[in-house]
Structure 1
């Protein structure tokens, strides 16, 4: 049983390592998104570098690759903590992909995907928090950070058995945004939306 779980975790990591932005850019013959814009291979940078269709495709891809391993773990009726580790492994794959020199994204969309199986109420709260922060601040990075901070509080009320892995996932996402936090504090972070324009 333990060997099967470890194999599942490894497969989740390798599946999560399939980066939508990098793969799309290679398919289209576009420059590596890790060398352009914010240098983050995610949907927000794809929106800055290309267009909404490309960003949407990357967003959907990265969300689904977070959702599928967790749904499959539910199907096998694994313990909540094991399911949590499978979700974290998927995000670690996105952040440190072995196919792309271990230089991946920040895990926001994939992290959201791993939380979708917790229910539409959880999903709704996370998306609403992200959208409200974007609307008020215009910063995608700040929206990701605040949503990551809020996620454990939401899950504690809705599905408390998953609180521990969600806290770990939130810490992982926040750590990936350290550089953004520094730029936010210095007033140098680029906005996703600038309401003054």
Structure 2
């Protein structure tokens, strides 16, 4: 239990790292939370800082979820405990210690967590996300649809450890609902036809 608590602190710290905010201040001396959607995540970083830095934030935010779990697995932490560590990392991203317990919507960090726990599910979700965004041009719509599909695919598709399928489905449901809730303003704008479309340029 002590070992788990130590890694829970590590996972939270990793998840809390505000990569988009720090990168924005470092490369353009701006706080991306003051522009665009005012979010600290990769999508707003893409719009405000440009494609190169937006993709960089996406990768870094995903690594915040993947790395703590990978390190914990090297110390023989598995089962429900490593799943809980993933949840802690996601919570760190959305309630960052460095941002007065505010943060992003958890999509990229969830991507990193589930890439470790169930890579085949993530592969399918990435394809769905690309398809939805490619057709609709709405990143928020792709994120919400993938969040809804997450627990369903966790139930039916192969996962890293089949013995943990039930807790994975439960955590996936919790994370999916949480991500959808964090997109409530986007959903409202989508319904009103006011959501910003994503442009690769």
Q: Distance in 2 between matches of 1:186 and 1:130?
A: 22
Pairwise CA RMSD: 1.8
Between the aligned partners of 2:171 and 2:179, the Cα distance in structure 1 is 12
Deviation at 1:82, TM superposition (A): 1.6
1:152/1:166 contact within 8 Å kept: yes
The answer to whether residue 186 in structure 2 is matched with residue 170 in structure 1 is no
- Structure 2: give runs of 5+ residues left out of the alignment: 160-164
TM-score if structure 1 supplies the norm length?
A: 0.91
Residues 1:184 and 2:190 aligned together: yes
Superposed, which structure 2 residues align to 1:55-134 within 5 Å? 55-134=54-133
**3-state DSSP of counterpart to 2:198:** coil
User: By how many angstroms is 1:4 displaced?
Assistant: 2.2
d(CA) in 2 for partners of 1:119 and 1:57? 23
Question: 1:186 and 1:80 mapped to 2: Cα distance?
Answer: 43
TM superposition shift of 1:79: 4.0
Asked whether the equivalents of residues 45 and 54 of structure 2 are also in contact (C-alpha less than 8 Å), the reply is: yes
User: Structure 1: where are the runs of 5+ without partners?
Assistant: none
Equivalent pairs counted in the alignment come to 194
Write the distance in 2 (CA, Å) between the matches of 1:39 and 1:20. Answer: 14
Cα distance in 2 for residues equivalent to 1:182 and 1:145: 12
- For 1:118 and 1:92, how far apart are their aligned partners in 2? 17
Question: What's the TM-score once normalised by structure 2's chain length?
Answer: 0.89
